[in-house]
Structure 1
């Protein structure tokens, strides 16, 4: 079973949702047979790599609310995250364009490190408040995940995986993704938002049960009960 997760490194609910989904997956009996793939969905494709304003001013500018109101909203989000064991430090968070971070995710996926790098990117951005638009930061994350530093650096100075990032975004749009996080299970069921752990667990169970072959609860033979086979109807 495959679960595709459309998310952005700069989305706090994507980090919160990641933890809740993982908790739901941990409770799932068949968790070892679930493949999780992180897809790219940039919330602000036009963001600059280096920004002079912080998260509070950014929200204030987008929404028209005051800086204090924006700070209050971020504090509420941080409180939600804390309940999941996450430490979101909006005061010192460094805003940036996440394209290169998403390119790194695609590079990592080719080496079987998609999930590991996704976790490290979220932690670096929200908790360690590192500049995830910096190639130096991204190379360090890649090395921590077990990827080659030279190969990572070579990828980052090129435009490799840029098209893949855009394709992920467009594919998400076609599936109905307008905001993240967005989870798609076997291209049959979708879950929008950082839902509670039990929602993810129940969705995994439902998708799994419906994907399994039909189970016959009693033997189907003329000896076992009343049945018609090969044009002949018999009763035990």
Structure 2
């Protein structure tokens, strides 16, 4: 999925691989935005979002509490899992995000990503990705439910009829898989994963200062194209 803030061939391109159920992805998004707010050439930046599934093997239609899945994967007692969740939530709060992970529902995210690609066709990819992250991580929404996805999509301006037609079939499924494959070629094994200027990879929800340094480095290296 590619959502651009600018359509300028001389812009510094940032490609971001992200999953809509990934708590670190939302934190990373906010930290990048904080860095861009301090970046001297932010007006010359073009952002493209790409789909990535943390667990593509999760059966479609299966809905389980995220807290329950975390407990299984870590083989940790409930108190330890709650401490882990609280730590991530505290980091999110520092970025102005109010997580409610104990009420989050884990699902297969391909339909949410297909909606993201449809939204991008309308120039709404960034807003759609933001809305889906907030819905899952902060509001306990079930982001594989058709009616939920229709409501979230129409909130950001995607036509309801197009959403329903898309979700009724397999439109954009190949685009989701192509995003995943492209991310793998860049070396992404998890998300968030950022590529600046098609040359500099930044893995994980790094600090705003780290993003700012990477932005300045990538911009300087691309300076001939930006002048």
TM-score of the aligned structures, taking structure 2 as reference length:
0.90
How far has the Cα of 1:54 moved from its partner?
1.9
Residue 158 of structure 1 corresponds to which residue in structure 2?
169
Question: 1:29 and 2:33 equivalent?
Answer: no
- Contact 1:50–1:95 under 8 Å retained in 2: no
Alpha-carbon distance between aligned partners in 2 of 1:188 and 1:49, rounded to the nearest angstrom: 35
In structure 1, stretches of 5+ residues that fail to align are 215-236
What SS class does the counterpart of residue 194 from structure 2 fall into? strand
Structure 1 or 2, whichever has the larger Rg, is 1
* Stretch deviating more after TM superposition (111-120 or 67-76): 67-76
After superposition, the Cα gap between the structure-2 partners of 1:154 and 1:45, relative to the gap in structure 1 and judged at 3 Å, is same
Deviating runs (4+, > 3 A) in structure 1? Answer: 48-53
* Partner SS state of residue 40, structure 2: coil
Alignment-derived partner of residue 104 in structure 1: 115
Residue 59 of structure 2, aligned match among 42, 48, 55: 48
Tell me the matched-pair count. 214
SS in structure 1 opposite 2:108?
Answer: coil
- Contact residue 101 and residue 133 of structure 1 kept, 8 A: yes
8 Å Cα contact 1:89/1:129 also seen in 2: yes
Check conservation: 2:63, 2:107, Cα contact below 8 A: no
Higher relative contact order (CA 8 A, sep 6+): 2
Structure with more of its chain in helix, by fraction:
2
Structure 2 residue corresponding to 1:9, chosen from 14, 17, 20: 20
Any idea what SS the aligned residue of 2:141 has? coil
CA RMSD across the alignment: 1.4
Matches within 5 A, 1:1-236: 1-51=12-62, 53-213=64-224
Q: In 1, distance between residues paired with 2:37 and 2:112?
A: 27
The Cα shift of 1:211 comes to 0.9
The worse-fitting range, judged by mean Cα deviation, of 31-40 and 82-91 is: 31-40
Deviations 1:101-154 (A, max 9, x none): 111111111111110101100111111111111111111111111111111111
Answer yes or no: is the 8 Å Cα contact 2:67–2:104 preserved in 1.
Answer: no
Taking the aligned partners of 1:100 and 1:26, their CA distance within structure 2 comes to 32
Residues 207 and 52 (structure 1 numbering): CA distance in 2 closer, same or farther, change over 3 Å? closer
* Conserved? CA contact 2:64–2:107, under 8 Å: no
